[in-house]
Structure 1
Amino acid sequence: MIETARLAGFFTAHGIWCVSEGETLVPLIGYLHADGEYGMDRLMYDDYAEGVRAGQDALADGDPSWIGAVLVADGYVHLDQGKTDALIVEAVQYGPYRQSVQLAVPYRTADDPRGFAVHKPKFMNADCDDPEFDALAEAFFVGTTSHTEAHEVWEAHLDESV
């Protein structure tokens, strides 16, 4: 699950980079091949929810060439502060048995008077045998730093108060 957590970090950082300028993220699915190469598809549909459903179906079906895949979509999460914009991330590792993890990365939009901000990821609905969630979190952050341009945006706008 470590490789898939890195994959999730990479594509979540890409998503943060996209929303940092005020746009809604087109749902994207990123995937890892056995040779270590990443691939990505944007799920452009007339209806946003239809794009997300297509991504969820792709995760559920998988692809024989994928070791892991991640769906990143724009949405909301409910926190103590109320309904908050967030990237919703679903990651699946394929193999003899599937493992998955879901997390949200809350953010403050660019049109907020305080400006754009990225908040701490919130791990949710983890379904994996690896009890070492610290290792998964570390791998996720290694993935975010591997997307150099996006990581610069993330770090420049990090607000860990949420």
Structure 2
Amino acid sequence: MQETARLAGFFAAHGIWSVADGGTLTPLLGYERADGERGMVRFANEDVGAGAQIGRQALRDNRNGAVRAVLVVDAYLHLHAGKVDALVAEAVDYGPPSRTFTIGVPYRPQGSPGGFAVHRPKLLQDPGAEATALIEAFFAGVDAHEPAAQVWNASLDESI
């Protein structure tokens, strides 16, 4: 699962890089095949929610013959601070056995008071004993996307 968490971190960072200028993220599916080849597919649609649904179906169907994949969508999370913008990464290790986890990355959009900010990721499913290892691998994936990691680290606000 750690390789899947690294992949999720890499593509979540790519998503943060994409929304840092104030836009809405076009849902994206990042995947990795057994030979290590990576790819990405975007699901552009006038209705972002419909694009996310098409992406979820693609994630379930594993159309790219991947060993692991992650769908990253722009969404909202309901946290103690209230309703916040977030990128939600739904990650799958196709196994066998197939395993999943979901992580949310709250952010403050450009144009908001205080400007763009990235908050601490939140595991949205309890992975049990693997939680610490998954978060560490997720951040290794963030760091592997160098231009996005620069934006992430420069905009970090751990208040949420």
Give me the TM-score of the superposition, normalised by structure 1.
0.95
Counterpart amino acid of residue 8 in structure 2: A
Task: Spell out the pairing of 1:18-97 with structure 2 (5 A cutoff).
Answer: 18-63=18-63, 65-97=65-97
Report 1:90-105 matches (<5 A).
Answer: 90-105=90-105
Q: 1:64 to 1:55 in 2, by over 3 A?
A: closer
Counterparts of 2:122 and 2:148, CA distance in 1:
19
Q: Which residue of 1 aligns with 2:146?
A: 148
Q: Per-residue displacement from partner, 1:73-96 (whole Å, max 9, x unpaired)?
A: 101001111110000110000022
Letter in 1 for 2:52: V
Which 4+ residue blocks in structure 1 deviate beyond 3 angstroms?
Answer: none
Question: Deviation digits for residues 49-98 of structure 1, max 9, x if unmatched?
Answer: 11100111111111362010100010100111111000011000002211
Per the TM alignment, residue 148 of structure 1 is displaced from its structure 2 partner at its CA by 0.2
In structure 1, the residue matched to 2:158 is: 160
5+ unaligned residues in a row in structure 1: which ranges?
A: none
TM-score norm. by structure 2 comes to 0.96
Cα distance between partner residues in 2 of 1:6 and 1:88: 15
- Counterpart AA for 1:90: E
Conserved? CA contact 2:77–2:86, under 8 Å: yes
Quote the sequence identity (%). Answer: 52
Greater shift, 130-139 or 10-19, is seen at: 130-139
How far does the alpha carbon of each residue in 1:100-132 deviate from its partner, in whole angstroms, 9 at most, with x for none? Answer: 000110000111121100000000124x6x732
1:120-135, aligned counterparts within 5 Å?
A: 120-126=120-126, 131-135=129-133
Instruction: Give the total of aligned pairs.
Output: 160
Q: Which amino acid aligns with 2:72?
A: V
Provide the rounded CA distance (Å) in 1 between the counterparts of 2:59 and 2:129: 23
Query: Residue type of the partner of 1:25?
Result: L
